[in-house]
């Protein structure tokens, strides 16, 4: 791969999903000797939500950490923007890469844009068309600032076209395909079924639940209704629900005095990536409000129930791997009943597992 005297690429990350999804790109940079450095904003700042992933994925430690920590969207984005601007002025990369729709992404894109540094947006063109979601604002603005738009599917390319973005849009697939392919085999070797035995659960005999979106966990009525739905599922299917609880969700469960609704739910601390991957692969059904988990469930052939009323991953709905349940308890139960009987024969729509190499060829001009 020719680098054409390319100056360094700054790869800006801040959360667990960003670490996982940029890992294939980072490894390809190393393989093809593309000069780069990693800036970690520290948007996820606990050990299990952050540092352990670099170790498990065999990635180089970030050269720069700016430790923005928690706060409101404005506070977090503002701190991130201010500190990233100083770093980019000092390091003077030729281009930056950001992935997804977090506050790290929007801050990185704004900082680079104001300094006339070219931006590559991995996972461009995703749209839920729900502007009440902070992530939707982030992804729209990042796309309109970017010079290279790496759309995972033709659906996301069409979304960009509707907004007048047609230049330098590349359908590359999604890096999560290669990340899952590589890491699934590593997880089997390193973890096996240890996490299942530790939790006293059996393959395909449990539900996996994740919950972290602010529209769900910051609203007492919605959060209560979701847990009522989860309890109905336990009652009907007589299977355990494993719930690796996000710190934000735990805080609000206590704040809203909903702890009694978790008595029958097997709530655990967040686990490492490989442990979580094993839990994903072996679940009977996944219930989540995560965007990335909708993709992963589709690729891993595990039925998914999305605890939202919209999704920026409609490809999973078209494939038949996912269903939008919303947040009401009866709708959640009905959706699980429907998906529990589905045949796992869908085709995943996220590419051939060569996304990171395609991205690097484009951004380096090879």
pLDDT at 46 over 80: no
Identical fold for domains 9-174+351-364 and 180-340, yes or no, is yes
Q: Which residues contact 82 (CB under 8 A, 6 or more apart)?
A: none
Residues 50-94: tens digit of each pLDDT: 677 788 888 999 999 998 877 788 889 999 999 999 999 999 999
Catalytic pick from 73, 144, 147, 212? 212
Task: Name the average pLDDT for the chain.
Answer: 94
> What tokens were used for 201?
């659960």
- What whole-number distance in Å separates Cα of residue 18 and Cα of residue 156? 19
Q: Please, which pLDDT band fits residue 366 given cuts at 50, 70 and 90? A: low
Domain 9-174+351-364 CATH superfamily: Glycogen Phosphorylase B; (3.40.50.2000)
Q: Are 40 and 13 in contact (CB under 8 A)?
A: yes
Residues 21-30: tens digit of each pLDDT: 999 999 999 9
Q: What is the largest CA-CA distance in the chain?
A: 62
The pTM score is 0.93
Res 68: pLDDT: 84
Handedness of CA 21, 144, 106, 217 (dihedral sign): negative
Residues 99-146: tens digit of each pLDDT: 999 999 999 999 999 999 999 999 999 999 999 889 999 999 999 999
Nearest to 301 by CA among 236, 348, 263: 348
Nearest to 208 by CA among 255, 258, 259, 275: 275
Residues 223-273: tens digit of each pLDDT: 999 999 999 999 999 999 999 998 889 999 999 999 999 999 999 998 888
Q: Is 200 helix (H, G, I), strand (E, B) or coil?
A: coil
For residue 147, indicate whether it is catalytic.
no
pLDDT at 205 over 90: yes
For 289-308, what is the mean pLDDT?
A: 97
For 273-283, what is the mean pLDDT?
A: 94
Which of 3.80.30.20, 3.30.2290.10, 3.40.50.11540, 3.40.50.2000 is the CATH number of 180-340? 3.40.50.2000
Q: Are 212 and 290 in contact (CB under 8 A)?
A: yes
- 90 burial via Cβ count (<10 Å: 0-12, 13-18, 19+): exposed
Give backbone dihedrals phi and psi of 40, rounded to 5 degrees, phi first. -110, 120
The distance in angstroms from the start CA to the end CA of the chain is 6
> What tokens were used for 203?
């393959």
E strand segments, 18-62: 36-40
Res 16: pLDDT: 86
Residues 153-200: tens digit of each pLDDT: 999 999 999 999 999 999 999 999 999 999 998 898 888 899 999 999
- 131 burial via Cβ count (<10 Å: 0-12, 13-18, 19+): exposed
46-50, 86-90, 270-274, 360-364: which range is least confident on average?
46-50
> What tokens were used for 34?
């593309």
Residue linked to tokens 């709530």: 267
Structural domain boundaries in the chain? 9-174+351-364, 180-340
């Amino acid at each position: 791969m020719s680098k054409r005297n390319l100056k360094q690429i700054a790869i800006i990350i801040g959360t667990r999903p960003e670490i996982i999804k940029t890992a294939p790109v980072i490894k390809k940079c190393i393989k093809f000797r593309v000069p780069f450095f990693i800036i970690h904003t520290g948007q996820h700042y606990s050990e299990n939500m952050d540092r352990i992933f670099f170790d498990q994925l065999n990635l180089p430690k970030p050269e720069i950490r700016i430790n923005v920590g928690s706060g409101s969207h404005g506070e977090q984005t503002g701190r991130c923007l201010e500190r990233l601007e100083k770093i980019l002025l000092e390091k003077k990369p030729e281009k930056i890469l950001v992935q997804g729709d977090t506050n790290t992404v929007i801050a990185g894109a704004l900082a680079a844009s104001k300094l006339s540094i070219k931006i590559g947006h991995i996972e461009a063109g995703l749209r839920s068309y729900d502007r009440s979601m902070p992530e939707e604002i982030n992804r729209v603005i990042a796309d309109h600032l970017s010079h290279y738009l790496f759309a995972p599917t033709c659906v996301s390319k069409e979304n960009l076209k509707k907004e007048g973005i047609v230049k330098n849009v590349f359908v590359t697939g999604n890096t999560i395909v290669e990340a899952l392919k590589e890491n699934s085999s590593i997880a089997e070797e390193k973890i096996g079924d240890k996490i299942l035995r530790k939790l006293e659960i059996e393959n395909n005999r449990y539900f996996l639940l994740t919950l972290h979106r602010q529209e769900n966990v910051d609203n007492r009525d919605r959060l209560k209704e979701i847990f009522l739905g989860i309890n109905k599922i336990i009652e009907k299917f007589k299977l355990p629900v494993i719930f690796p609880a996000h710190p934000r969700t735990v805080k609000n469960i206590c704040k809203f005095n909903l702890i009694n609704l978790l008595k029958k739910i097997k709530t655990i601390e967040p686990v490492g990536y490989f442990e979580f991957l094993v839990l994903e692969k072996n679940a009977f059904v996944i219930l989540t409000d995560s965007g990335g988990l909708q993709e992963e469930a589709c690729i891993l052939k595990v039925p998914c129930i999305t605890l939202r009323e919209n999704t920026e991953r409609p490809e999973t709905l078209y494939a038949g791997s996912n269903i939008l349940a919303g947040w009401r308890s009866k709708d959640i139960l009905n959706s699980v009943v429907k998906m529990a009987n589905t045949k796992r024969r869908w085709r995943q729509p996220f590419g051939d597992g060569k996304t990171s190499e395609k991205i690097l060829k484009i951004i380096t001009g090879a």
